[in-house]
Structure 1
Amino acid sequence: MGFFSRIRNAGRGSTRPRREGERVAAQGAAGQGTGGHGLFGRGVTRRSFALGSAAAIGAGMAVISLSSCSSGEVKETTGDPQVVDDSQVVAVLDGDYEAADCPYTASQTFTLPLGTLLFHTGGTWAAALLTPESSQHVNTLGALSLSSGNLSTVLDAPTQGQTWQFYDVRCTDSVYAWVEIDYATRDWVLVGQAFSGGDLAGEPVQLDSGSIDWEPPRFTTWNTSVIWQKMPLATGNASSEDSHCYQWSVGETEGTELMVSHGRFATAPRVADGILTIAPRVKEDEGTYYGLTALDLTDGNNTKRDQLVLPSGVAPFEAVYMNEQFAFSIEASYDGRGSLGNMGTFIGREGGPYVYVRREPLACVAGKGSRYLVKAQTSHFVVDIEAQTYATLGAPDRSVDYGDWPASEGIVDRFLSFATIRNAQGIPESVTARVFDL
């Protein structure tokens, strides 16, 4: 089953644009009916990236410009593609790890309106896409307190006007970011704003914009920053343009370019403990190679901490740098590419070994310490690489199809998941969100 179908059943989206229409599917599950990634494009190229559109200025929104910032050198890596065999793989579900009881029980359980989609990048708040509060809007933006379970509306109308709709959203305790789209014109904008105590603060800032040949950005939030990727669609007039990863922080007048990829990034940006993971094209003169790359956002230089180059043609599905190694997944099997060309989730770095979960990957890995939560068909595997055990974190009763879905990503103190729940007649009725203290 493709990711489009999976996300329709799970009721939750991702910003991964090569799976066309996944946000449509997610919002279709919520009864919202929006459009898909394949619709969007023509953006501002690097050579003309001044983010001061007349529409934004007319709306009174602040805009930013972007400057470049070089990264440090790769440390302790060769940059060689990692073609490995099964001798370097520890297969969690194939006898190399022992089954164990699940170490986690929910510390909080909340019942939310049907169609609620949650996104948690750390801290005490999760961003939410909410079902419409009036017939004038397809959806609204909200925030869920992981402490109290209070779900509040943050923004009920897009900043760009009545023809625009909300497309995607993320937040931390200090910054809130979202994408708006106009499905008639295929224009989109990325907006950021200060966030405090569940409410927006200050003024919204337009961070990026685009139209028919540039897809809506994959983005994340970290501390006071928004980090996003500007990429051309794989097909279209801008398909030969470079892709860029940028960072903007609350109060700044300029965004910073973190990395250029001569080709599309393979994964969405993820941040764990101040380390950003992205997957640019590398070794472009030799073929199609993706390099999982860890950048340190905390040292002031965006130093490249680590890199793992995958075999030729192997595209990662998700990747995040945790505990000095990459937790990454491959969503298809590639013949002749070695063990890292197999479908599943891996934990390791250049040289191996690699802990391997032989299941179709569905979402970004989350966890803390030696424990990693890996999304399975309806539940999650809890993989403990220190104890060499695995357990199952079950989904709530009566959850639909793909069951419990992770809202959290990377290293978190509290893991948030949510599931659409059926009533006694088998009809989807509400969303159950659960918080697990890690």
Structure 2
Amino acid sequence: MIFDRNISRRSFTIGSIAAAGAGMAAISLTSCSSGNRPTTGEPQVVTDSSLMVNVLDGDYEYTDKTLASSAAWLLPLGTLLFHGGGCTWAAAMLTPESVSHINTLGVLSLASGNLSTVKEEPTQGATYTYFDVRCSDTVMAWIEINYIDRSWVLFGQGLSNGTLTGSPVKLDEGDADWEPPRITAWQDSIIWQKTPLSTGSKSGESSHCYIWTLGSDEGVDIWESHGRFATTPRVSENLLTITPRVHEDEGVYYGLTALDLTTEEFDQVDQLVMPSRVSPLDAEYLNGTFAFSVEASYDGAGNLGNMGSYFGVAGGPFTYVRREPLSQITGNGSTYLVKSQSSHLIIDTEAQTYGALYSPDRSIQYGDFPATEGLSSQVLTFATVRSASGVPEGVQARVFQL
């Protein structure tokens, strides 16, 4: 996702929007100005080994300390969980045993473990099914998709004490030429990225990152990227991290970019430009540093072109975890969880130690995955667990205090 300093000030209304359900509204989208956005930095081609701190190769000390769960619940098989840092509710995608619903939307209370369904029927009707969902404690976002023609619609709605309030609002829509958006929720706002399909007739169109606040008639175009965003939008506290294309006249460069959501113009707080062609898998801005990952190795890109997870800002040094990245990084203070195959690595950047948090049955195939994004003192994970005969029987959700 790249930081574009020349966001147009045009506004537009999403075309062909029709109300689908009583009281459902549609919003228009407007552009913001460029705000406090300094010149894009130089690509970080790191060849100096002194700038790399290797967690698993001797620079950190291994410890057998782990984390004990403060709560654990067995949920129905197929449940997927999504938790925003600091929230008391997690969004859930459910797969009920019903011929009338392929999946439904729900929420999980991290206080009680209560899992409830909040929406069964897609707003768009029986030809659509649920594709993705996120929530904060006050708003829920979800995507409905028609797999026959690959059209999709993004909705937002209020959420209070685990119950939907008001009416659904259609935020965006697209056909087969547009990928279903990547979404997140923050406080009473929904953030999403709209990106053209790389092989469709709209492949030359720009990508956009939008934000909509509950009760507003308009969403705001935060960023226009003249190319595809590399990662999903992530929020940690009040900072949004996106990875748009930068240095677009010089080649393919992605800029990890942290924006302050509390400022009127979404001011840029920090940016780290990756080496040429290196596309990050995920990125967040945690405790004043970028926590990001790369899922492949790139020749000639320096140390930041190696597969693994990293902590650092432009100029270095960079803390490096030499493991295949599988999910977002989450943490609190100087402690971070980095997902590996059968466990999470518990990394303490202050004490310079690392340990392991294993999945409930140490299964490589079925989990354990972090549901939480951003800084959070309470981290939620979920894993498919098996019976004594080895058959998957449910999803184990666990809460840990960091």
TM-score range normalised by the length of the shorter chain: over 0.9
Deviation at 1:318, TM superposition (A): 0.2
Mapped partners of 2:345, 2:21: distance in 1: 50
Write the mapping of 1:89-108 to structure 2, written as runs, cut at 5 A: 89-108=52-71
- Whether contact under 8 Å (2:366, 2:385) holds in the other structure is no
Specify the alignment match of 2:163 in structure 1: 199
Deviation at 1:366, TM superposition (A): 0.2
Write the mapping of 1:401-416 to structure 2, written as runs, cut at 5 A: 401-416=365-380
Deviation at 1:54, TM superposition (A): 4.8
**Correspondent of 2:117 among 127, 150, 153:** 153
Specify the alignment match of 1:51 in structure 2: 14
Specify the alignment match of 1:237 in structure 2: 201
Deviation at 1:101, TM superposition (A): 3.0
Specify the alignment match of 2:4 in structure 1: none
Specify the alignment match of 2:44 in structure 1: 82
Specify the alignment match of 2:277 in structure 1: 313
Write the mapping of 1:268-307 to structure 2, written as runs, cut at 5 A: 268-307=232-271
Q: Deviations over 1:158-195 (max 9, x none)?
A: 00011110000000100001000111121100000000
Deviation at 1:437, TM superposition (A): 1.2
Question: TM-score, structure 2 length as denominator?
Answer: 0.94
Mapped partners of 1:287, 1:274: distance in 2: 31
Deviation at 1:300, TM superposition (A): 2.4
Structure 1 range deviating more: 52-61 or 270-279:
52-61
Write the mapping of 1:232-381 to structure 2, written as runs, cut at 5 A: 232-381=196-345
**Correspondent of 1:165 among 113, 117, 129:** 129
Specify the alignment match of 2:381 in structure 1: 417
Mapped partners of 2:252, 2:174: distance in 1: 26
Deviation at 1:132, TM superposition (A): 2.4
Deviation at 1:402, TM superposition (A): 4.5
Mapped partners of 2:198, 2:42: distance in 1: 26
Q: Deviations over 1:181-238 (max 9, x none)?
A: 1111211000000001000001110000001100000010000110000100111100
Question: TM-score, structure 1 length as denominator?
Answer: 0.87
2:19 alignment partner, SS class: helix
1:56 alignment partner, SS class: coil
Mapped partners of 2:313, 2:74: distance in 1: 39
**2:384 alignment partner AA:** T
Mapped partners of 1:181, 1:348: distance in 2: 37
Aligned pair in 2 of structure 1 residues 128, 57: CA closer, same or farther (>3 Å)?
closer
Q: Deviations over 1:328-383 (max 9, x none)?
A: 00000001110000000000000000000000010110001111110010110011
**Correspondent of 2:33 among 70, 88, 94:** 70
Specify the alignment match of 1:5 in structure 2: none
> Which of the two has greater helix per residue?
1
Write the mapping of 1:122-137 to structure 2, written as runs, cut at 5 A: 122=85, 123-137=87-101
- Whether contact under 8 Å (2:232, 2:242) holds in the other structure is yes
Q: Structure 2, unaligned stretches of length 5 or more?
A: 2-8
**1:372 alignment partner AA:** Y
**2:336 alignment partner AA:** Y
- Whether contact under 8 Å (1:229, 1:244) holds in the other structure is yes
Query: How many residues get paired?
Result: 393
Structure 1 range deviating more: 320-329 or 59-68:
59-68
- Whether contact under 8 Å (1:52, 1:63) holds in the other structure is no
Structure 1 range deviating more: 396-405 or 263-272:
396-405
Aligned pair in 2 of structure 1 residues 286, 74: CA closer, same or farther (>3 Å)?
same
- Whether contact under 8 Å (2:40, 2:246) holds in the other structure is no
- Whether contact under 8 Å (1:265, 1:278) holds in the other structure is yes
CA RMSD of aligned residues (A): 1.7
Mapped partners of 1:140, 1:344: distance in 2: 34
- Whether contact under 8 Å (1:133, 1:140) holds in the other structure is no
